[in-house]
Structure 1
Amino acid sequence: MEAESCRRRLLRLLLLFGFLALDSSAIETVNVVDFCGQTIRGDGMIVNSHQESKKYYFVTMATDCHLTMQASSPKDNVQFHFRFFLVYSLLRVAPLSPAPLFPESPRGSAPLNPRLEPTSGESSGDPCHAGSYVQFYDGRDRNSPPLGPPLCGKSMPRPVLSTGNYLTLRLVTRGTQPRVDFVGDFTSFRLGKKDTDILHTSYRCFDDIHTLI
């Protein structure tokens, strides 16, 4: 019975996300690199990492850019759902010699003589340690509370939901030979109480469903 209840909640959550993304093919497309430091506002947009996403990696070192997404109504929230995600560095900066970052500069140059380490070595259990990553913030800039841990690698992250009218996405490349390419949907929406309850309970079902399948 509990497994069936979880399946129903997951199905309703997927239907909710699917409804929010129905018209994504007809909406505007922006990219983090060209809109570095800016705020975009609307009912929804497609957000790419860079202009040539899905054709070539973004490989510029020492990039530190953020893009803020604002819902169309003050009472709305922001959802971000990745369609495609690949963010990592072939060589990362060693912890004792961090690479300098150039804030809000999508055209950063390479750091001079940093100590580098292969991406296979982890530190303190952080898979994004000293490598490129994406971070979400629950607000209008990078000083807002972070939403979840830094995101990196090749696995598709979960959808991200703001608690208010703004959601900020930050892209940071560290080390050398960064490999960045992602595509996602920004959607402005309003959750009712029932939808909020579904959202808060559905994630707990994933492990149970995986065990039973």
Structure 2
Amino acid sequence: MSPPPTTTGSRGRPRTRRLRLLVRRHSQPRPLRPGRVDLLSDLATAWDDDEPPLSERELVFTGQTLLIAGHETTTNVIGKMVALLLADRRRWERLLADPSLVPLAVEEALRFDAEPGIGVPAPGEMRLDRSPNPHLAFGAGPHACLGQELVRTELRTVLHVLLRRLPSLELAAPTADLRRLEGLAVGGLSEVPVRW
């Protein structure tokens, strides 16, 4: 098992080192605490007669993968989704007028953001009411993202909360000024300046 790339370049090495130290510290076995779910401790102590326990290196790489897949990807998708929706104020206004479109808008943002590639068509026009919406943002078949339903739930929740609490939300910079993050395992924007 090889470590997942989190960043590259001179700034990436210290971040990766800190992430490894954090995961290493949290993967050390700790006294059992009733009622507390602790995945890394469970992985550190889980073994059976057929399989030895995971090595520290395997635990660290597993923890890194979980953090990147479960946190970094979702936070980046939230930023990109908000930027996509605010890039054309009519999209935001439509969701304010009809919050029942949020699940479809989330799927459309996922479809629209997916990188075109082999067998993946360019996104074309963004339509908040597209249904059905068979996109490949989470892969397919044996390569499908295991956390896709959690991500969908998180994106819908974030969007509902932003619409309810910050209806006047708007981009505070032109979309042309939004910069993509370079060197991450997953794409994102370096920042999404907003005002309300």
What range describes the TM-score normalised by the shorter chain of this pair? under 0.3
Normalised TM-score (structure 2): 0.24
Normalised TM-score (structure 1): 0.23
Q: Which of 1 and 2 has greater Rg?
A: 2
Q: Relative CO higher for 1 or 2, CA cutoff 8 Å, sep ≥ 6?
A: 1
The structure with more strand, counted as a fraction of residues: 1
